[in-house]
Amino acid sequence: MGYETEFKLDVKVPDTMCEHPDKLHIIKQLFKTVVEARTAIDCTGNTFEATKWYDCDAELSAFSKRFPKVLFELTGHGEDKDDFWRLYVINGKTQIQWAIITFPPYNPKLNN
């Protein structure tokens, strides 16, 4: 059985945070290197299907060294309702951030 997660991969230029112009080529290279990536995301980086990619952090970290000036943002949403996170990877270095869900305060002007 196992725990499944939906993944989405963004490939960005770190200075501008814009989509990298070689995103599709980079993802194709990832597919050649990391088998699990092929079951997790499609060729544009969007969710393919929920899957098990337990070593995504280590595998993406190793892969990122081939493209040291590219920022990879891997977003994951697991089976548990509060399992929502983003992994940032650049040149082998990783950082993970967990989503923080907040509600704005009550606004009486919005009453119907």
**Terminus-to-terminus CA distance in the chain, angstroms?**
47
Q: What percent of the chain has pLDDT over 90?
A: 92
Which positions ≥6 away from 3 have C-beta within 8 Å? 52, 78, 79
How many CA atoms, within 13 angstroms, populate the side-chain half-sphere of residue 82? 3
pTM: 0.89
Amino acid symbol at 14: P
Q: If pLDDT is split at 50, 70 and 90, which confidence band does 81 have?
A: confident
Q: Are 95 and 64 in contact (CB under 8 A)?
A: no
